[in-house]
Amino acid sequence: MANSKYEYVKTEFEPDFETKLLPSTYIVIRIDGHQFSEEQEFDKPNDPRALMSLMNACAVAMFEEFKDIVFAYGFGDEYSFVFTRTSKFYQRRASKILSTLVSFFSSLYVTKWNLFFSQKDLRCTPFFVGQIMYFPWDETLRCYLAKRQDDCHNSNQYNTCLWELVKSGKTKTEAQDILKGTRTQCRNELLFKQFDINYNTVPMMFRKGSSVFRDKLKVVVKNRENGDPVVRLRKKVIVEHCDIIGESFWREHPSLIASEDLNLLRNVHSSNVYECMKNETEVKNKLLPYTWIVVRIDGRHFHQFSDMHDFDKPNDSKALGLMNACVVALLEKFKDVIFAYGVSDEYSFVFSKTSQFQQRQGSNIVSMIVSFFSSLYVLNWDEFFPHKELRSTPSFDGRAICYPSTKILRDYLAWRQVDCHINNQYNTCFWMLVKSGKTKREAQSILKGTQTPDKNDLLYKQFGIDYNTLPAMFRKGSFIFRDKVEEIVQHRENGCGHIQKVQMKVIIEHCDIIGESFWKENPHLITCDN
């Protein structure tokens, strides 16, 4: 397909050298629910259904999707996924791995919600923030996991005390004051003396969190004629709630992470070994100040996904409507996104040059956007496809790119819209040929080397289609932004006229964004101030 003059924005600003993680290191993706304590009404301190059933079911499903995950550990609203040292997943590209995992987990969480909370609606769109780390040595990884379990212990013990105090009549602030500065021993005593609770008898799942891994289990595969069972060893994903700081778990499962030098681990409680290590291992990518930030997300395996869900070809209006509805909701949630442009299974979200969203931390920004979008996609599915069951878990990858000038940002958007035109025109011809009886291969060879005028001719002469009369949403993509809209908010009581109010609303247009006119009509979108 023809290259456009705008493609330099890809070759020059999205280089192949996107952060790749060092070979032969463990990759860890940690996801953490965003504002879960405020937004979701869980029982306190532990909602066993949310914790055990939902988060753990999602973690198990992650193992089924991503074969290179060897171990996962989670508690509360967080989970860490460990990839094998030798993993070549997405050529170890940091942003691709992080965004894909966070997106997939978010979709799973919303998909599985009803299995565990049939009585309770999701009150808001849940989403997760992700970070990516790498660990060169077994010991440092073990040290990281030990620190996570230590945090699990501390936060669970603190929350158990806090909610017992609240249940006994204290306000939350009073309870927090009582607990300020307390340590393990003191909290244990408080629980025992005031509430007759022996902390060590609180369920292991809450005290120790959940470890997920594959193990060989004896499984009865069938029964012989005489009734004897035939037992085979099968690899299964299992969840355990055990100590992972000490030696015994790792000794029993030597294939997971083999740790030899354990001096570091012995120090985990008493020193800041982990804190020192963390600075070296977390991949931080602060985005350049005073540059436009574009976060582009793209559906993962949407070719198959669209086949599986029988999308109309070349364009399924409902699928595009679903993408657009998610973007409208996203712009309502994140005021830092000024506008968005998308086609097919992709969307680009534009943040202003001066935006301080997430202190311009790339991995936070990308993971939040892709996670929120994925949750919405699942939540809104039924509205657009009421008679189609969601048969697989949709997910998206994401990346953040910085553009130093308004001209280059405009060229970026032009590049995406030219791409939309080229793909749509090709796909329209391709599917018309296929629908007229040609095989896919024949259609491809007919279209090989053709230019825009040839394709327009083909459509007109063979199928009586004037390309320019096809829906603008297919030809131009969708541009979503906030604009002032005058709304009638109230009719006057005396019946004379009405009261109007100007409000900012998120609106969708399918217009040309390459030329000047759209930008002249909407000067507030790209100004010198933003």
State phi, psi for 507 to the nearest 5 degrees: -125, 160
CB 369 within 8 A of CB 295: yes
8 A C-beta contact, residue 124 and residue 110? no
DSSP string, 431-460: HHHHHTT--HHHHHHHHTT--HHHHHHHHH
Tell me which residues in 292-321 interact with ligand ATP (CB under 6 A): 298-303, 306, 311, 313, 315-316, 319-320
8 makes contact, choosing from ligand ATP, Mg ion, none, with CB < 5 to 8 Å by partner type, with none
Q: How far apart are the first and last CA of the chain?
A: 35
Q: Is 425 in the site for ligand ATP (CB under 6 A)?
A: no
Part in contact with ligand ATP (CB under 6 A); list of ranges 43-51, 84-92, 111-119, 192-200: 43-51
Closer residue to ligand ATP, CB minimum distance, 52 or 70: 52
Contacts to Mg ion by CB under 5 A: 298-299, 302, 345-346
- Residue 361 binds ligand ATP, judged by CB under 6 A: no
Regarding 440 and contact with ligand ATP (CB under 6 A), the answer is: no
Residue whose CB is less far from Mg ion, 175 or 420: 420
Nearer residue to Mg ion within complex by CB, 397 or 411:
397
Considering only residues 29, 31, 69, 77, which one is a binding residue for ligand ATP as defined by CB under 6 A?
77
Q: Nearest CA to 160 among 194, 186, 199?
A: 199
Pick out residues in 82-141 that bind ligand ATP (CB under 6 A). Answer: none
CA dihedral sign, ordered 427, 433, 435, 439:
negative
Residue 191 contacts which entry, Mg ion, ligand ATP, none (Cβ below 5-8 A, type-dependent): none
**How many residues belong to the chain?**
530
Edge-to-edge, what's the strand order for the sheet holding 26-33?
128-135, 26-33, 78-83, 69-75, 210-223, 229-240
CA-based angle 152:154:155, to the nearest 5? Answer: 65
- Residue (301 or 524) nearer to Mg ion, CB: 301
Interface residue with ligand ATP, options 4, 13, 20, 36 (CB under 6 A): 36
8 contacts ligand ATP (rule: CB under 6 A)? no
Taking CB positions, which residue lies at the least distance from Mg ion? 299
Residue whose token pair is 């992700």: 130
| 37 lies in the site for ligand ATP, by CB under 6 A | yes
* Among the listed residues 322, 287, 515, the one whose alpha carbon sits nearest the alpha carbon of residue 400: 287
Q: Does 428 bind ligand ATP (CB under 6 A)?
A: no
Question: Closer CB to ligand ATP, residue 51 or residue 94?
Answer: 51
Indicate whether 46 belongs to the interface with ligand ATP (CB under 6 A): yes
Quick check: bond before 45 cis, omega within 30?
Answer: yes
Instruction: Find the shortest distance in angstroms from Cβ 105 to ligand ATP.
Output: 14
Distances (CA, A) of 290 to 166, 193, 351, 352, 508: 47, 57, 11, 8, 27
What stretches of 200-242 show up as alpha helix (H) in DSSP? 204-208
Q: Return residues touching ligand ATP (CB under 6 A).
A: 32-38, 42, 44, 46-47, 50-51, 76-77, 298-303, 306, 311, 313, 315-316, 319-320, 344-345
